[in-house]
């Protein structure tokens, strides 16, 4: 793994060097920024115009976290760190005439300590086509992230990136210095840069503005406290309702319920009911006449109540969503997705003031109807 630290920046530098073959290095680097080829304006104005061009003329896509690798040579407690960032967000961008992928992105995920971490930025990746739709790439990210352990102050993120993909689906890897982790994420792009500005016709399967659905879910949990007090992953249920403000933006309210056992040193001590109530704003993108995907962000309220006992705790927390919807007809829906919530409870763990953080990830599949 240590070799990656040497190879990844060198690979990115080599990519930029290829672009510098017919120009100076600085000129080649400037061409990778959003304001490339906008020489008639000042530098910052050119970058702003380039960002607006990406937003207005780019295609939309879903961004999801895949994995956070904590190298054994750096993390002796790696089993206690969160390796699954989950979460989701949006990107907008395009492939330019030189096969460079340029995109704006914003998404939120669960960090190594099971806390929400948003990140926003710009990414440039040069792509090489290998065979048919298969391609690889290398480039960088310029952005900012916000972490609880840094008091939510913006942290600049100039990071190297390598990628591999098939068609409109890409996977990326970056190395994050300071944290010394390898972060993997993915984008699934659409061809909606024209269609999103055209109102849905009355004949569209997504023309109806209200949806209600029920789903079965699996609430995956992880390390609940740093001192080994754990919670089981279990099945549950979800009921949700959406109201579309326009063709792409919706408000959703959902409620979930599941039951879990807590364990002290591996031995079950109590049974609990876990309920959550979440209100989110969602952006939906169309992949076809009958498929669309969404990312959402909002706020939730959760309760953790002991079965057969009197103890009850509550928590207000952020909620992050990613999912997809299939519309077999105008009135029927099949939904699947991930809800990531961040409740924190006091007084649950037997070790006193240790925060109980079940880190629930709700994976759901269900059906409903539109009206």
* pLDDT tens-digit series, residues 260-305: 999 888 889 899 999 999 999 999 999 999 999 999 999 999 999 9
- Residue 288 annotated in active site: no
- Whether the CB-CB separation of 110 and 86 falls below 8 Å is answered with yes
Closest CA to 170 of 111, 93, 117, 96: 93
Write down the pLDDT at residue 6. 43
Predicted confidence at residue 136, as pLDDT, reads 98
Specify the pLDDT at position 18.
54
The pTM (predicted TM-score) of the whole model is: 0.89
Share of the chain above pLDDT 90, in %: 71
Helix (H, G, I), strand (E, B) or coil at 57: helix
Looking at the structure of the chain, the number of domains it has is: 2
On whether the CB atoms of residues 279 and 252 are closer than 8 A, the answer is yes
**pLDDT score recorded for residue 78:** 76
Q: What is the number of other CB atoms lying within 10 angstroms of the CB of residue 34? A: 22
Stretch 21-25: mean pLDDT: 59
Task: Indicate whether 52 and 171 sit together in one domain.
Answer: yes
CA nearest neighbour of 158 among 146, 144, 148, 171:
144
CATH of the domain at 88: 2.40.160.20
Whether residues 183 and 207 fall in one domain = no
Q: Are residues 250 and 169 in the same domain?
A: no
Res 323: pLDDT: 98
Average pLDDT over all residues of the chain: 90
| Active-site option among 59, 70, 163, 223 | 70
Q: Is 284 a catalytic residue?
A: no
Task: Please indicate, yes or no, whether residues 191 and 204 belong to a single structural domain of this protein.
Answer: no
| Residue finishing a domain among 195, 214, 243 | 195
Distance CA(327)–CA(60), nearest Å, equals: 20
Asked if residue 365 has pLDDT above 60, the reply is yes
pLDDT category at 352 given cuts 50, 70, 90 is low
Residue 1 has a pLDDT of: 40
Residue 152 pLDDT: 95
Judge contact between 284 and 296, C-beta under 8 A: no
pLDDT digits (tens, 9 = 90+) for 161-207: 999 999 999 999 999 988 889 999 999 999 888 888 888 999 999 99
Query: Looking at 149, 172, 195, which one is the last position of a domain?
Result: 195
3-state helix, strand, coil in the chain (%, to 5): 15, 55, 35
The reply to whether 149 belongs to the active site is: no
Asked whether residue 170 falls in the same domain as residue 209, the answer is no
Question: 170 and 54 in one domain?
Answer: yes
Q: How confident is the model at residue 115 (pLDDT cuts 50, 70, 90)?
A: very high
Q: Are strands 210-220 and 159-166 parallel, antiparallel or unpaired?
A: unpaired
Q: How many CA atoms lie within 13 A of 318 on its CB side?
A: 15
Of the residues 172, 195, 218, the one at which a domain ends: 195
Q: Spot the catalytic one: 111, 170, 222, 247.
A: 111
Query: Given 59, 110, 112, 123, which residue is catalytic?
Result: 112
Distance CA 296, CA 156 (A): 24
290 CB-near residues (< 8 Å, 6+ apart): 205, 326, 327, 328
Do 32 and 160 belong to one domain? yes
| Tally of CB atoms within 10 A around 251 | 15
DSSP state letter for 201: P
* Cα separation values, 182 from 67, 84, 223, 294, Å: 8, 12, 21, 26
Domain range enclosing 84: 2-195
pLDDT above 90: residue 350: no
**Band (23; pLDDT cuts 50, 70, 90):** low
């Amino acid at each position: 793994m240590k070799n990656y630290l040497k190879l990844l920046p060198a690979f990115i530098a080599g990519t930029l060097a290829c672009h510098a073959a017919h120009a100076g290095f600085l000129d080649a680097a400037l061409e990778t920024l959003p304001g490339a080829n906008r020489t008639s304006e000042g530098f910052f104005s050119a970058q702003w115009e380039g960002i607006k061009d990406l937003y207005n003329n780019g295609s939309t896509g879903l961004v999801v976290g895949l994995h956070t690798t904590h190298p054994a040579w750096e993390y002796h407690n790696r089993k206690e760190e969160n390796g699954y960032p989950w979460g989701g967000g949006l990107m907008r961008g395009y492939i330019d005439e030189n096969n460079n992928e340029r995109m704006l992105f914003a998404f939120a995920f669960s960090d190594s300590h099971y806390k929400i971490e948003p990140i926003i930025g710009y990414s440039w990746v040069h792509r090489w086509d290998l065979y048919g739709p298969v391609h690889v790439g290398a480039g960088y990210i310029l952005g900012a992230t916000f972490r609880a352990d840094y008091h939510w102050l913006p942290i600049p993120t100039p990071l190297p990136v390598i990628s591999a993909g098939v068609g409109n689906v890409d996977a990326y890897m970056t190395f994050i210095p300071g944290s010394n982790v390898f972060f993997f994420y993915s984008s699934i792009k659409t061809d909606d840069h024209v269609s999103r500005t055209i109102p849905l016709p009355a004949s569209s399967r997504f023309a109806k503005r209200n949806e209600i659905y029920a789903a079965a879910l699996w609430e995956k949990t992880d390390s609940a406290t740093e001192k080994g007090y754990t919670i089981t992953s279990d099945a549950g249920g979800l009921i949700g309702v959406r109201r579309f403000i326009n063709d792409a933006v919706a408000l959703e309210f959902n409620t979930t319920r599941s039951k879990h056992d807590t364990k002290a040193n591996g031995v079950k001590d109590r049974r609990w009911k876990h309920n959550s109530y979440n209100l989110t704003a969602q952006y939906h993108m169309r992949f076809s006449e009958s498929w669309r995907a969404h990312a959402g962000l909002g706020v939730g309220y959760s309760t953790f109540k002991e079965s057969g006992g009197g103890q009850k705790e509550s928590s207000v927390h952020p909620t992050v969503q990613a999912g997809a919807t299939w519309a077999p007809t105008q009135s029927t829906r099949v939904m699947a997705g991930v809800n990531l919530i961040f409740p924190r409870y006091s007084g649950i763990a037997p070790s006193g003031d240790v925060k109980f953080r079940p880190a629930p990830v709700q994976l759901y599949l269900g059906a409903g109807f539109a009206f």
